[in-house]
Amino acid sequence: MQTSIRRYVPFWLSLAVGIALWEVAGRSTSAAFMVPFSATLVRLWELIVAGEFLGQLAESAKLFFTGFVLALVVGIPLGMLLARVRALRIGIEPYLMLIYATPLVALIPFILSMMGFGFAPKVLVVFLFAVFPVLYNTVEGARSIKPEMIEVAHSFRSGEWALWREVMLPYTLPYTMTGVRQAIGRALVGMVAAEFFLSSTGLGQLIMGASQNFDTGGVFASIFVIGLIGVGLMRVGLMIERHFARWRQ
Amino acid sequence: MADAAITATVPAARAAPAARGVLVPRLITGLALLLIWEVAVRLLAPAYVAKPTTVLMVAPHVLTDPVFLRATGNTLAAVAEGLAVALVFGTVIGLLMGRSAALEKAIRHYVNGFYAMPMIVVLPLFSLWFGYSASTRIATIIFAAIFSIIVNVADGARSVPREFLEVARSFRSSRLRMMLNIVLPSSMPYLLAGFRLAAGRALIGAVVAEFFISVGGLGYYILYNSRSYHHNEAFVGVLLLAAFGVSFEVLVQAATRRFLPWYRRDEKAD
């Protein structure tokens, strides 16, 4: 207990210094430019009390999870299929890499003019951002399986199910989970991009609205919350990844 | 020398037939994908939606259009400028952070926090700070790019073999020289990996900033043309962005192989 407290001293110290710096910087500049930490928290509390904030947060969460779950439901089985069927994988690999390296935000204007302002186009954006890391990393994992291992499994007359359980899943799953972690981060970017550029809802709208009203406190409060969500989700992603990659270490 | 020759020829000899066996299925898949796209759009979508044949038809015209070329030049210049700033400052901060435990403890959580933040949320704030101008785009690019460089360079600086530094210290070399001549070269592979991620993020940052503040560039060209239902023209822009994304990737991989053949590592991904 004592040691764990001591271990976290630098963390709390750096947090306190950061907040102090933010406070000082906010107080010594104009309120239109930067808002001190205390004022940011006050503004955040006002937004929560006004009831606007939690509703927008729920709206964003709905978008994030719909798109993200859809990406997993499509990405993991499709990735596994590509992992198992070698011809398919070899054919599709370079195109996956191409899309993976393309800034997909550039597709948002097309989605807007084809699908309009509903919920579906926004889900599509989150889905597109999240699905390719899952696919790409699963295929990468499949590539790490030596063909000899599958041959050995076959020569021991292992069935399809045993092959999956003993070879395919243990080898590809850690990579897939790296993809899932990346997908979490990208889905978050997709969510904000969709809320900025398609129909404006959720936390994205909160930031945009505050910025258009020159409500710097509101902008800081929303960015602060999204930053915390980003850090939290990144933690979750790392935990998932480590859980599945344990045997590799 | 002889060893190097052997290890270099063996994979090459194995790769040659493999490459031939791979090319045909890849071409067939590519053609199949294009065909599916073409047929799907013809059957299901309105006429303005981009499809391979029409994109191909407008491509020569777009690629010679001065408006398009100027937009591309604008975006690329901004990305290059932002990346250069992010590279210099990111490397310096990363090196210091990796070699100084105190600094590392002080700023680690902030660097990781900003890195985990979806970079585009800062756009409305930057547009308040810098106005609806090209400075906002540069600031967004730097913000998007710098943290992946800091994180990776710090990782690299931390993993410099201890013996290198001990030898340098026993020869009484100064801290600055140790940084420049030992820590920096030894962190190079990490730096390149970080740069690769940073380049992708910088490209996204540039496009998103152009959408947001309507400053001239490739992203704005895409936005403008797709709004006026010139999807084929806009799609040429997307293809060019994809080409930039891929060429960054290929360049960094080639540079790693060419200049740092001694190094192999799974990069820290975003």
Per residue in A9-37, pLDDT (tens digit) is 778 888 888 888 888 888 888 877 888 88
CA distance B46 to chain A (A): 9
Average pLDDT score over residue span A138-163: 81
A90 vs B contacts (CB less than 8 Å): 22, 25-26
A185 vs B contacts (CB less than 8 Å): 116, 118, 270
Residues whose CB falls within 8 Å of the CB of residue A134, separated by 6 or more in sequence, listed in order: A71, A72, A75, A76, A79, A176, A179, A180, A183
**pLDDT averaged over every residue in chain A:** 86
Record: contact A185-B50, CB cut-off 8 A: no
- Angle at CA of residue A16, ends A11 and A18, nearest 5°: 95
- Under 8 Å CB pairs connecting chains A and B tally to 151
| Pick from B88, B89, B91: nearest CA to B156 | B91
The model's pLDDT over A179-231, given as tens digits with 9 standing for 90+, comes to 999 999 999 999 999 999 888 888 888 898 888 888 888 889 999 999 999 99
| Pick from B36, B152, B57: nearest CA to B95 | B152
Distance of CA B14 to the CA centre of its chain: 31
Alpha helices in A157-215 (DSSP H): 160-163, 169-197, 202-212
CA–CA distance, A133 with A137 (Å, rounded to integer)? 6
Nearest to A98 among B121, B207, B246 (CB): B246
CA distance B269 to chain A (A): 8
- Rg (C-alpha) for chain B, rounded Å, is 23
CA–CA distance, B136 with B142 (Å, rounded to integer)? 10
Record: contact A188-B118, CB cut-off 8 A: yes
ipTM value for the complex: 0.85
* 8 A C-beta contact, residue B157 and residue B103: no
CA–CA distance, A146 with A247 (Å, rounded to integer)? 18
Alpha helices in chain B (DSSP H): 2-44, 52-64, 66-99, 101-116, 123-130, 134-158, 162-170, 175-178, 184-213, 218-227, 231-259
Instruction: Tell me the CB-side half-sphere exposure of residue B121, using CA atoms within 13 A.
Output: 31
* pLDDT (0 to 100) of residue B71: 92
Record: contact A105-B114, CB cut-off 8 A: no
Question: Is pLDDT of A4 > 60?
Answer: yes
| pTM score, whole prediction | 0.86
Amino acid at A26: G
Banded model confidence at residue B13, pLDDT cuts 50, 70, 90: very low
